[in-house]
Amino acid sequence: MIYLTQQRLLFFLFQMILIRYESGALDIPSTSLIQLAKFYKTSIDYLLGLTNNKRPRRTVSRHSYRRKSGCIYYQ
């Protein structure tokens, strides 16, 4: 019988999840993508391979847009 410590078991499970993410067998939850992008200071598009630009686009602050007749205009 093989005994695994909790740490080794978690590492094994984490590896299996990563393999499933990378193979496309499992979708990454959006909350995890947001956390990863913040941690690595990059964009979700870069993490997903949709762009080669490592730097995230400038985020829009709450005060940098205005609403006019139901549409949002970014300034």
Look up the domain containing 9 and give its range. Answer: 1-56
Q: What's the CA gap between 51 and 40, in Å, rounded? A: 15
- Per-residue CA distances from 69 to 66, 72, 73 (Å): 10, 8, 10
Whether residue 18 is predicted with pLDDT greater than 90 in this model: the reply is: no
Element (H, E) at 66: strand 65-68
Q: What's the CA gap between 57 and 43, in Å, rounded? A: 7
Q: How many domains does the chain have?
A: 1
Are 15 and 7 a contacting pair, CB within 8 Å?
no
Residue 38 placed within a domain:
yes
Residue 45 placed within a domain:
yes
- The pLDDT of residue 66 is 55
Whether residue 39 is predicted with pLDDT greater than 50 in this model: the reply is: yes
- The pLDDT of residue 25 is 92
Are 36 and 29 a contacting pair, CB within 8 Å?
no
